[in-house]
Amino acid sequence: MFGLDKKDAGLLLIVAILALAAPFILNPFPEGSAMAQFNAGYPDLMQRLVIFGIFAIGFNILFGLTGYLSFGHAAFLGVGSYAAIWMMKLLTMNVIPAIIVSVMIAGLFSLLVGWISLRRSGIYFSILTLAFAQMSYALAYSVLTPITGGETGLQPKYTDPRILDGALPDGQMPRANLFGLDMKDGFELVMGNWVFTFNAGYYIAAVVMLLSFYISIRIFRSPFGMMLRAVKSNQQRMNYTGLNTKPYTLAAFVISGMYAGLAGGLLVAMDTQVGAERMFWTASGEVVLMTILGGAGTLIGPVLGAGFIKYMENIVSKINKTVLEQWFAFMPDGIEDVMVALVYPFVGKGWHLTLGLLFMLVVIFLPGGLVEGGQRIGNLFRSKKAKDTSPDGSKTPAE
Amino acid sequence: MDAIILQILNGLDKGSAYALIALGLTLIFGTLGVVNFAHGALFMIGAFCAVTFSKLLTLSHIVIDDTQKDFLGNPLKVEVPYIYDFFGQTTGDAIIDWAVPLSIIFCIPIMIAIGFIMERGLIKHFYKRPHADQILVTFGLAIVLQEVIKYFYGANPIPTPAPEVFAGSFDFGAMMGFAENTIIYPYWRLVYFAFAAVIIGAVFAFLQFTTFGMVVRAGMADRETVGLLGINIDKRFTIMFGIAAAVAGLAGVMYAPINSPNYHMGMDFLVLSFVVVVVGGMGSLPGAVLAGFLLGILESFASMSAVLEFLPGINQIIIYLVAIIILLTRPRGLMGRKGVMEE
Amino acid sequence: MAILEVKNVGKRFGGLQALGNVNLSVAENSVHAIIGPNGAGKSTLLNVLVGKLIPDTGSVMFDGQSVLGRKPYEINQMGISRVFQTPEIFGDLTVMENMMIPCFAKRDGAFRMHAIESVAQEKDIVGKAENMLEEMKLIDKRGMNAASMSRGDKRRLEIAMCLAQDPRLLLLDEPTAGMARADTNNTIDLLKQIKEERDITIAIIEHDMHVVFSLAERITVLAQGTPLVEDTPENIKGHPKVREAYLGESQDAA
């Protein structure tokens, strides 16, 4: 199917089903129940899940395959966002030109940054990318204010030229759309106590994510992808096999920069505003976390990581003292208080603490991330089943 | 001329902080071969040692003062710091006033202990892992440490004043024959610079003149050979980690009055300190110090209004710009040695 | 006819004259060994040949073209393949993938952005790699991670990877260093077989006299950065200068 082998096609299919059925899957709790606040099936969050999935998929093409750890990828996301918002201000509120231009501009910018940064490897490369991202952030905040809006950021305004769009009716705010389909359009499906929201913006983002995922599978399975893994494995042998590593790594860098730009453009398409803070280095750190947590170098890992972090962020940060007290209410009073006191620092505003700990645990014990965890559990079951059948030595790399 | 001197002075205190953090970073990198992204957090913890110590000093109990009455005519309840009970009011006030410098004593054992625990508990297991893994795990640790601090101390900066004596400013201009009030420099920043100079000197002297330091320097140059000589280099490296942590902590303690400590100050400084280390040359101690002061002063020059007029925003990016240029033209940094972090 | 011509090459590291006025000529389709005691400049010379070092003086011509100033990958594309002292392979990749990479390098050159078609669809490459593995008796290990193979197999794979590019000149840097006698003999047999089956020039830098005298047709003895003598193995064996400079000290190793 689509030039993929059976296993990859199956993987794509699973991701597609999960993405398309997300409004159901993420809303497991009936409306009005105590757990309803933990539903994640609202458009804003679902959009972020898939958009950061795209960001992480792209980052993984660089880090997972070549091993070059960039600490500045948020800069490309930010540049993509600014490009998209300018398209919306100048050209049209249709998201198509905005997204295309954001990918192109981010690609050009990453070509420049990559061309310079890739002269060094290891920690020097990480520091160079970090320096570029921090420079972009500082400039966006200060000197480039006419282009970036500085601290206030940018939003489409009623008075923007928008040469392709007709004049807006009086008082109506410009809204992002796809040939007239408003990103915020959607309908709610009420089934008994459950309410499921289907949102146009989410589905557009999800389709783009599936497309990105598909392209990433093709890259992983291509000779180009194999060369990138070879770069990570042994650059010396690459050079003495007549292969020039620079264009390979640069191409990977630019591709991942374009993915970041695409994510930035989509963020603007869904929520038409940009601020410089999305270029801050913590944002670059976040995509590193997502990729590692899910499993760097694996196909599905970054998607899982991005989904997991954004979902948990939403859930965990909503847990407060009252919720905890409800949860532990079945315990005797003294123990209940102790449990609440023990758990409280890790939830609500303490989400980053949980994230940091989780991340450390993954790096220490599970360098392959959630995917490796899943495989280990899988192997546990399989080895029980297949004790008498002979073990199969061959393995598929980088699933 | 006076403007130039002023900018150099202004650069010194920030430069001192960069130099101290970078010194610890490169010490850890040079000895243990570990890229420690949690080093900024150690700086931050140092600053919070000062905060904690001031808080401890002002711990109070309530005493009913019969000599004073509140507006209802009842005896006034006043909070009396415990420290008054021990030392009397005058000495007590003096101690509270000097909280920041005094917390150095409090900070050193804590930082060394934290350093030991970090190295033995976590870093030790990452010597053989790739640098990317080291960066990642210490990055995670940095997040954890700063979130723990945020949990206990809140997200807002906590003003931590320097002793009363240093509150004023020093008029350099008058002293050096320029017009009065052209070069004014707060006393505390001068103290910070002197303090940093002493610490840097002490670290260098320690490495230069003690047997311990000699072994560590030998270990930085060639770890395996030193190990072969039957010297327990690992134990010494643990101690080095403790010292590096203490240096970062001290840098933080004394910086508290300059910049009210907040939980993310470590990360803010870390990013810059890494740039400093790389510019100075990975694993080069003099390079780290030199680059720290150089970049601190450059940054302060870049914020002169005369410079900003024709290069707007340059103060925001100068350090990164310099780092990029240096890395591309001198791959090993200003004073880096060959073979460090290279394939 | 000489395929590799080294003329007046000198290289200095600070105060150390690593190479001084080296002249060397390797005839096409011969096996040429370069021997010499430790510190004679063998590795420096090799690094000059593959583009890792640029000499201070002199010229290095390969098949009529200068290699000086070219990057290692460019020199490889000219037809020089190098086998390292410790096998340099792609440890994280499978044996089959290791084998395919030089095939791609041969077909597509130093860089090609073939990112859409899958590796499995590249029938010619897969076939060529499989043949090569078959020939080298590595075909049953095709799905294995290269890093988990034995040292002897890694050496075999590395040589196979070099041969897959059909190089004109194969450079071997102490290919049997650290090997047990049995593995050493296997490697000698493998190299003999390669020489018989292909039109290939082999230049070998070696410490082990057993290997040198089993394989080489001509031998250059290097001492203190300069070639002492160049001759056939028989003549080298008896050469007094060589005995003095080299064989005397390592006779027990031979």
Contact B331 A124 (CB under 8 A): yes
Task: Give B39 or B226, the one with higher predicted confidence.
Answer: B39
Contact C102 A242 (CB under 8 A): yes
Give the model's pLDDT for residue B110. 94
Lowest-confidence range among B3-12, B167-176, B283-292? B167-176
Q: What is the pLDDT of residues C19-62, one digit of tens each?
A: 888 899 999 999 999 988 877 888 889 888 888 888 999 999 99
Task: Give A321 or C126, the one with higher predicted confidence.
Answer: C126
Q: How confident is the model at residue C228 (pLDDT cuts 50, 70, 90)?
A: confident
Task: Give C209 or A204, the one with higher predicted confidence.
Answer: A204
Query: Cα torsion for A265, A270, A271, A274, to the nearest 10°?
Result: 0
Give the model's pLDDT for residue A129. 92
Which pairing describes strands B184-186 and B169-171: parallel, antiparallel, or unpaired? Answer: antiparallel
Give the closest-approach CA distance of B98 to chain A in angstroms: 33
Q: What is the pLDDT of residues C163-205, one digit of tens each?
A: 999 999 999 998 888 788 888 888 899 999 999 888 899 999 9
Give the model's pLDDT for residue B342. 44
- B 60-89 residues inside an 8 A Cβ radius of A: none
Q: Please check the confidence at residue A391 and state whether its pLDDT lies above 50.
A: no
Give the model's pLDDT for residue C43. 85
Residue B317 with chain A: CB contacts under 8 Å: 134-135, 138-139
Tokens, residue A286: 């976040």
Lowest-confidence range among A99-103, A184-188, B64-68, B105-109? B64-68
What is the mean predicted confidence (pLDDT) over B205-211? Answer: 88
Please report, rounded to a whole number, the percentage of residues in chain A having pLDDT higher than 90.
44
Residue B138, H or E segment:
helix B131-153
**Test mutation, B35, B131, B137, B269, chain A, max A CBs within 10 A:** B137
Residue A337 gets the label, from left (phi > 0), alpha (psi -120 to 50) or beta, of alpha
Cα–Cα distance, A347 to A333 (Å, whole number): 21
Q: What is the pLDDT of residues A346-368, one digit of tens each?
A: 888 888 888 889 889 988 888 88
- Do chains B and A touch, with touching meaning 3 or more CB–CB pairs less than 8 Å apart? yes
- B 253-272 residues inside an 8 A Cβ radius of A: 267, 271
Cα–Cα distance, C60 to B265 (Å, whole number): 57
Q: What is the pLDDT of residues B183-207, one digit of tens each?
A: 777 888 888 899 999 999 999 999 8
* Contact with chain A for residue B334, Cβ under 8 A: no
Contact B313 A143 (CB under 8 A): yes
Give the model's pLDDT for residue A390. 41
* Contact with chain C for residue A2, Cβ under 8 A: no
* Contact with chain C for residue A247, Cβ under 8 A: yes
Contact A356 B140 (CB under 8 A): yes
* Contact with chain A for residue C176, Cβ under 8 A: no
Among candidates C94, C41, C102, C47, which has minimal Cα distance to C71? C47
- The average confidence (pLDDT) of chain B is 83
* Contact with chain C for residue A233, Cβ under 8 A: yes
What is the mean predicted confidence (pLDDT) over B288-292? Answer: 91
Q: Please check the confidence at residue C229 and state whether its pLDDT lies above 80.
A: yes
CB B201 within 8 A of CB B195: no
* Contact with chain A for residue C81, Cβ under 8 A: yes
Q: Please check the confidence at residue A84 and state whether its pLDDT lies above 50.
A: yes
In B29-163, beta strands by DSSP E: 60-69, 75-81
Q: A: neighbours with 3+ CB pairs under 8 Å?
A: B, C
**Test mutation, A228, A237, A259, chain C, max C CBs within 10 A:** A237
* Contact with chain A for residue B274, Cβ under 8 A: yes
Residue B266 with chain A: CB contacts under 8 Å: none
Instruction: Determine the residue of chain A that is closest to B145 in CA distance.
Output: A353
* Contact with chain B for residue A135, Cβ under 8 A: yes
Q: What is the pLDDT of residues B232-244, one digit of tens each?
A: 777 888 888 999 9
CB A230 within 8 A of CB C101: yes
β partners of residue A369 = none
Cα–Cα distance, C140 to C80 (Å, whole number): 29
Q: Which of C50, C119, C142 sits opposite A222 (nearest CB)?
A: C119
Q: Which of A219, A239, A241 sits opposite C102 (nearest CB)?
A: A241
Query: Cα torsion for B109, B112, B118, B124, to the nearest 10°?
Result: -140
CB C30 within 8 A of CB C211: no
Q: Please check the confidence at residue B250 and state whether its pLDDT lies above 90.
A: yes
Count how many pairs of residues, chain A against chain B, have C-beta atoms within 8 Å. Answer: 109
Three-state secondary-structure class, residue C34: strand
What is the mean predicted confidence (pLDDT) over B58-82? Answer: 77
| Predicted-complex ipTM score | 0.89
Q: Please check the confidence at residue A199 and state whether its pLDDT lies above 70.
A: yes
Give the model's pLDDT for residue C128. 95
CB A316 within 8 A of CB A339: no
Residue C109 with chain A: CB contacts under 8 Å: 242
Give the model's pLDDT for residue B98. 83
Please report, rounded to a whole number, the percentage of residues in chain C having pLDDT higher than 70.
96
**Test mutation, C62, C88, C159, chain A, max A CBs within 10 A:** C88
Three-state secondary-structure class, residue B187: helix
* Contact with chain A for residue C106, Cβ under 8 A: yes
Give the closest-approach CA distance of A160 to chain B in angstroms: 27
Q: C: neighbours with 3+ CB pairs under 8 Å?
A: A
Which of the residue ranges A189-198, A249-258, B244-253 has the most confident prediction, judged by mean pLDDT? Answer: A249-258
Q: Please check the confidence at residue A394 and state whether its pLDDT lies above 70.
A: no
Which of the residue ranges A201-205, B10-14, B155-159 has the most confident prediction, judged by mean pLDDT? Answer: A201-205
Q: Which of A223, A242, A244 sits opposite C165 (nearest CB)?
A: A242
- Do chains A and C touch, with touching meaning 3 or more CB–CB pairs less than 8 Å apart? yes
Q: How confident is the model at residue B341 (pLDDT cuts 50, 70, 90)?
A: very low
Domains and CATH numbers, chain C: 1-23+36-41+57-69 (no CATH), 81-169 (3.40.50.300)
Domain A6-318 CATH (choose: 1.10.3470, 2.40.160, 1.10.260, 1.10.10): 1.10.3470
Give the model's pLDDT for residue B337. 64
Radius of gyration of chain A (CA): 23
Q: Please check the confidence at residue C251 and state whether its pLDDT lies above 70.
A: no
Q: Please check the confidence at residue A269 and state whether its pLDDT lies above 50.
A: yes
Q: Please check the confidence at residue A399 and state whether its pLDDT lies above 50.
A: no
Give the model's pLDDT for residue C170. 94
Q: Which of A219, A237, A242 sits opposite C77 (nearest CB)?
A: A242
Domain boundaries defined on chain A: 6-318
Residue B143 with chain A: CB contacts under 8 Å: 352-353, 355-356, 359
Tokens, residue C251: 């006779």
Q: Please check the confidence at residue C162 and state whether its pLDDT lies above 60.
A: yes
Count how many pairs of residues, chain A against chain C, have C-beta atoms within 8 Å. Answer: 125
Give the model's pLDDT for residue B63. 80
Residue A235 with chain B: CB contacts under 8 Å: 343
Instruction: Determine the residue of chain C that is closest to A396 in CA distance.
Output: C143
Q: Which of B151, B271, B341 sits opposite A353 (nearest CB)?
A: B151
Q: What is the pLDDT of residues A210-241, one digit of tens each?
A: 999 999 999 999 999 999 999 999 999 999 99
* Contact with chain B for residue A367, Cβ under 8 A: yes
- Against a cut of 0.90, is the pTM above it? no
Please report, rounded to a whole number, the percentage of residues in chain A having pLDDT higher than 70.
96
Contact A397 C77 (CB under 8 A): no
Residue C144 with chain A: CB contacts under 8 Å: 393-394
Q: What is the pLDDT of residues C93-128, one digit of tens each?
A: 999 999 999 999 999 999 998 888 888 889 999 999
Rounded to 10 deg, the angle between the A122-141 and B131-153 helix axes is 40
Contact B313 A355 (CB under 8 A): no
